[in-house]
Amino acid sequence: MKVTLLGDSIRMVGYGMRVPKMLGSEFEVFQPQENCRFAKYTMRGVMHEWKEFMQGSQIIHWNNGLWDVCDLVGDGPFTSYEQYEADMLRILRVLKTYTDKIIFATTTPVRPSHERCANPLIEEYNRKIVPVLAAQGVAINDLHALVYPNLNEYISDKDNIHLTEAGTKACSEKVVEAILVAKREIEAGK
């Protein structure tokens, strides 16, 4: 069964390093060897650079958000919520050309001392986008709910945003669990 993993560095240097091995030889896993960054960057990738590699994917696990909520120059988030929602729905339309089994992972929290990302904004974007995507049939993998209660254990104190070893392990397990649920649904004809 072919799976595509899309997402920012939480995927790239986090759970994306473990999930293929955890899924085992029954799965073929494609993931870009680069950071999928913000939603518009991901849109470009799924339409062009990664298109050939995504062909045949039966399950897509996807996250975007940390780059979008980032206040790079002190004048608000890189992507307004309205634009984020529009971008996410555009990405979803493209992803649905590959498969209907799409899983969205909520944006993970940061340590409060992070200079450019703020948890209240992350929570707001998650709270708004989750029902929009769920209404389109997207399964939700709530990594935010997993990480937030364990912030000091799961988020690095070196950069205040990336997963620690413990955070990577916990998120990897949750991603694998979500993919296995989707696999069972496919096998059951759902």
CATH of residue 84's domain is: 3.40.50.1110
Neighbours of 138 (CB within 10 A): 22
Query: What pLDDT, on the 0 to 100 scale, is given for residue 119?
Result: 98
- Please count the structural domains in the chain: 1
β-pairing, 102-105 with 28-30? Answer: unpaired
Mean pLDDT confidence for 90-116? 98
Nearest to 106 by CA among 59, 72, 150, 139: 139
Q: What is the pLDDT of residues 133-184, one digit of tens each?
A: 999 999 999 999 999 999 999 999 999 999 999 999 999 999 999 999 999 9
Yes or no: say if 102 and 60 are a contact pair by the CB < 8 Å rule: yes
Determine the residue type at 175. Answer: V
Look-up of token digits 């990897």: 172
Say what the pLDDT of residue 147 is. Answer: 99
Domain hosting 40: range is: 2-187
Q: What is the mean pLDDT of residues 97-118?
A: 97
pLDDT at position 128 over 90:
yes
Looking at residue 190, its pLDDT comes to 83
Please state at what angle helix 119-134 crosses helix 81-95, rounded to 10 degrees: 40
Binning pLDDT at 50, 70 and 90, where does residue 88 land?
very high
Q: What is the per-residue pLDDT across 1-50, written as a single tens digit (0 to 9) for each?
A: 999 999 999 999 999 999 999 999 999 999 999 999 999 999 999 999 99
The identity of residue 125, as a single letter, is Y
